[in-house]
């Protein structure tokens, strides 16, 4: 069941549906609003499919992709194969990642956050430290 506040935020996107897929870097799922997914697919469709590396990437990136909708009670039904991939047991965490929602098993999410806590300062400096004041108003 999606929390009411999240359903309210996603209301404009409910009619078009969502795409649910395996995450690339973490043992979680990614929920894409259909418009976001279509934009991403436009980029991926520009890849040369006669390149083995590109072809392998497309196959792996789209493995397990499911088009889904919320049911009438606001539930998101996650297919069993994706539940297995994310090792979802009982409690889940919904984490927004700018334009998508990540769906985690609660224990896996807490472990990932704890493991990354010590490295976050270095990561923040590497990613954001070289931004000038003129670039996107970040400093």
Report whether 78 contacts 88 (CB < 8 A). Answer: yes
- CB under 8 Å, gap of 24 or more: what pairs does 42-47 form? none
Q: What is the pTM of this model?
A: 0.81
Report how far residue 75's alpha carbon sits from residue 131's, in angstroms, rounded to the nearest whole number. 41
pLDDT in tens, 111-136: 988 877 667 777 788 888 876 655 55
Q: Where are the domains of the chain?
A: 4-106
Pick out the chain residues at pLDDT < 50: 139
- At the top level of CATH, the class of 4-106 is alpha beta
């Amino acid at each position: 069941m999606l929390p009411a506040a999240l359903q309210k935020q996603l209301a404009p996107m409910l009619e078009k549906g969502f795409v649910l897929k395996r995450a690339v870097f973490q043992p979680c799922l990614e929920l894409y609003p259909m418009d976001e997914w279509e934009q991403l697919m436009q980029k991926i469709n520009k890849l040369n499919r006669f390149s083995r590396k590109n072809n392998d990437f497309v196959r792996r990136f789209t493995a397990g992709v499911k088009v889904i909708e919320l049911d009438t009670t606001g539930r998101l039904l996650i297919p069993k194969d994706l539940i297995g991939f994310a090792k979802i047991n009982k409690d889940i965490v919904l984490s927004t990642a700018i334009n998508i929602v990540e769906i985690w098993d609660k224990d896996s999410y807490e472990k990932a956050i704890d493991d990354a806590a010590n490295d976050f300062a270095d990561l923040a400096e590497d990613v954001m430290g070289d931004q000038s004041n003129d670039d996107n108003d970040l400093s």
